[in-house]
Structure 1
Amino acid sequence: MKVQTPVKLSPEEVAFVRGLVMYEDAEILALNKPAGLSSQGGRGQVHTLDELLWAFAKPGKARPRLIHRLDRDTSGVILTAKTKPAAGFLGKALMARRFAKTYLAIVTPGAPEPKGGRIEQALRRDETGREAYMRPCPPDHPDAELAVSRYRTLKHTDGAALLELDPETGRMHQLRVHLAHIGRPIAGDARYGGALVVGGQPVPRLMLHATALKFPHPGGGEKRLEAPPPADFAGLVAALGLV
């Protein structure tokens, strides 16, 4: 079995990651990840969230294990397991689609038509140099992966809309590609055609926030965690009149 090598963290890094904790008990640890922090494997970044989790490791013990990921520029709820049995339980629950994830996104231009619905569009991975993209493709494509997302318009103007999103599957960049596919790319998503200025307002980053996560708890029952949108997201929502 591969032995984990602890990552040495500065006092500032320890304080930073501890400040992200939104829920903790004996088996799980949930954090409110800020945009700009890679979950794992980030390039050109001193430490990823996975490495920062060493701040919670007991002497001689492993760090908490990430159960799922968020894109680097997506903010919001991310779940870890503090014990090996909890990690196994949650990993199986995730594979069985027993997790319910809810996101908020700002899209342009205006609300999609219809204003709520289900997007079932297969995706395939496309690697260009060191970059990986997901592309819509026919369901019978040899590399096709089933991808299903639900959306609901919460508020809208002529130029932008605030959507609530529920992915039924968990493909890479799924929500971003699905929304671009229906002509409503997420604001700030330069990779998939998102606007960088909306209503005269500069878009600071990808406007996608993981606002809630519901899942079976390893100790029994269900747990729902919610993370309010951060200041940059909430500020753009207000500036665009989407409150």
Structure 2
Amino acid sequence: MTRNRDIPALSAEAAAFARSLIIHEDKSVLGFNKPSGLASQGGGGVGQSLDDLLWAFARSNGKRPRLVHRLDLGTSGVIIAARTQPAAAFLSEAFAGRDAKKTYLALVKGTFSPTDEGVIDAPLVKVEEGGRPRMILARPGRKGAQAARTGWRVLAREGNFALLQLAPETGRMHQIRVHLMSLGCPILGDALYGEGQATGARVMLHAARLEVPHPDGGTLVLEAPPPEDFQIAAARCGLQSGLK
């Protein structure tokens, strides 16, 4: 939480937009369906971010919600924020301890396993290329390498295209995108690890479901249907049946 700070001016339009993204609200947690193109956090030349929009939910004393995890700029879907410091600490520990179960949908192109499901277990390491950070598969013993595991399942296939359901067991930067590239089937629209706009207007990755322990007890389960652009892209690839 941000304490005892002046609340930055947020236009009525921006506040209304922030509230339009809400899919869950209680005294401890806010859940949002983040659109593609909205950054989770600011910095690096980013304009307005979801983090900025959280000022729409600030208290009169300047305390406001805090994001406890992030989604890439191009990724759409479920993301949550904590409304109190105890909730933020609890949820951050849940994500760090891998108690949060995340489910993504991705549209991919390429040649991959004829089987319908599997697990990618491939450590990753961050590198700088042209001043831009990215992740690569790490050789055995590589300094700075981090364990990374992603479960995958094919929901639909059509030629060289497929709709995949993904369950990352770890939360490394760009993990799903790099792992799918390593399988030979990068995500449509991924300019960093795939063919970019030759295959899609944006990274066709959607955070469809999040299951996480709730700070006040029990389990919080949030879902967000794929946005229209994702559904249209799936239909163009002949994969719409997998979204049903």
Give me the TM-score of the superposition, normalised by structure 1.
0.93
Q: Which residue of 1 aligns with 2:202?
A: 205
**Distance in 2 separating the partners of 1:23 and 1:2:** 24
Q: Which residue of 2 aligns with 1:231?
A: 228
Q: Which residue of 1 aligns with 2:157?
A: 156
Q: Deviations over 1:174-233 (max 9, x none)?
A: 0000000110100000100235345xxxx2210000000000001111111000000000
Q: Deviations over 1:110-146 (max 9, x none)?
A: 5544331000001100012431100101231111110
SS at structure 2 position matched to 1:191: coil
Letter in 2 for 1:220: G
Q: How does 1:186-225 map to 2 (within 5 A)?
A: 186-194=187-195, 196-198=197-199, 203-225=200-222
Q: How does 1:86-165 map to 2 (within 5 A)?
A: 86-109=87-110, 112-165=113-166
Q: Displaced runs of 4+ in structure 1, greater than 6 A?
A: none
1:176 aligned to 2:158?
Answer: no
Which residues of structure 2 form unaligned runs of 5+? none
Contact 1:110 1:157 in 2 (8 A): no
Q: Could you tell me how far 1:47 is from its partner in structure 2?
A: 1.7
Q: Deviations over 1:45-103 (max 9, x none)?
A: 33211111000111113110101000000000001000111111111111111000000
Letter in 1 for 2:49: T
Q: How does 1:11-50 map to 2 (within 5 A)?
A: 11-50=12-51
Give me the TM-score of the superposition, normalised by structure 2.
0.93
SS at structure 1 position matched to 2:64: coil
Q: Deviations over 1:147-192 (max 9, x none)?
A: 0000000001112100000000000000000000110100000100
The percentage of counterpart residues that share the same residue type is 47
SS at structure 2 position matched to 1:192: coil
User: Structure 1 127/4 Cα, relative in aligned 2: closer, same or farther at 3 Å?
Assistant: farther
Q: State the aligned residue count.
A: 239
**Distance in 2 separating the partners of 1:196 and 1:28:** 36
User: Structure 1 239/56 Cα, relative in aligned 2: closer, same or farther at 3 Å?
Assistant: same
